[in-house]
Structure 1
Amino acid sequence: MISKKLAKLISTSTLALALAACQSQTLLPKRGAEYQSVKWEHQQPGCESADCPAVNVDTLRFLTERELNPIIEQRLLEFTRAQDDAPMVDSLQAYEDAFLQQAEPGWMSYLQAKVREQDDQIILIELSSYLFTGGAHGMPGRGFINYDVKAKRVLALDDMIIPGMENAFWEKARQAHQRWLKHEGLEENTEYLEMWPFQQTENVALGQKAVYLKYDVYAIAPYAAGHPELTIPYSELKGVLRPEFLR
């Protein structure tokens, strides 16, 4: 649940938010794990102005595969830290309380977890965040959780790739980057290529038809480009990915 004002804030840096009630809806996919969509938006207590600080959460609660629930919460909380070594609170509620207590007018925080794809092998969860604490614009974040249904664990990139084939994987990613540049009409823009060269990312996902690589803003493109996503077809990853993950 994203209020109309929140959507406007993310796209235009408008700072007003409307108070929304907590909602929970059970989703029953035709195939895969069952989960609830849990959403709420709270303003700073006592604030009645047009630019009240607010926290908006749009997350998941799994009814099956329940071990995913604390993992999702922890990953969302990682987005709330200003620095990687900064302390992290132990719950979304604790984060909301602390944020609203110290927030200044116009501040807002948005956290979302959604099931992007799932089947009997992989549950792919995409994570999103947006933090505004003043300035020209806020800072968005993205991430993935690749959950192996049979192994009951979250997969890291090292779990997906055949040992010794890491360089081959990133070469395939570099080729995907070239395709993206061509699609954007940037493959011959020397100035752009010097300013925004290819680099690796931690955000790698096992999609049903391809491997996705998601980039943070300012990683391989300017802020206005958002979060570029590269795709590598599984046909290009034979001998690179572990056979059980070729789909």
Structure 2
Amino acid sequence: MTKLSVNINKIATLRNSRGGNVPNLLKVATDIEAFGAQGITIHPRPDERHIKYEDARALKNIVTTEFNIEGNPVPKFIDLVLDIKPTQVTLVPDAVDAITSNAGWDTLTHKDFLKEVIATFKNAGIRTSIFTDANIKMVEGAAETGTERIELYTESYAQQFSLDKENSIAPFIEAAKTANKCNLGINAGHDLSLDNIEYFKENVPDLLEVSIGHALICESLYLGLENVVNMYLNKLK
């Protein structure tokens, strides 16, 4: 079964919009685990516009499943991850002013930098993953950095799925095959939803984990959080 890691950034965004502590981020994370999710993902950004650095530290004390922290490895982020020591760190090349992640790493251009950062995290016992486009060259470049996993950036799949699902999935199948040849574990995320997740899971070989936040929270407004978590789990079996 592919593991479901729920990104709770949107819960923090809702909380921050009114100040205070409603909804309670820690309670939501605990409930999501109780509903069956196998991981919690957060993506703190330097401006702390949703997940705050203090949230990351507090979550470390209550998350009992896999804890995945995503972000651009600037010095402040590196220090946070080394302090918390989550299960996994996912390196994402997002700009400071980015609304959301919008590209994978150029693993060839940034190979030396990534190798240095990844070695730092691996020496601390933290599993590493690189956010990567579904591009064979970028996957091969990722393998040269020492990372243990890649996270396939799935926005293009999600955008094209309703128009031509076979062509939309094709580059991800090839990227996954390349990752398998390079002994890289495969994660995936970005705009995956109840509509498109099952087809992705069925066609991408050896998919270990998906990280889903925005769609899952939006779907929960209509269907309920516990129900939606279990709907994803059923599709990922």
TM-score category by the smaller chain? under 0.3
Q: Which has the larger radius of gyration?
A: 1
Q: Which has the higher contact order (CA 8 A, sep 6+)?
A: 2
User: TM-score with structure 1 length normalisation?
Assistant: 0.23
* Larger helix percent: 2
User: TM-score with structure 2 length normalisation?
Assistant: 0.23
* Larger strand percent: 1
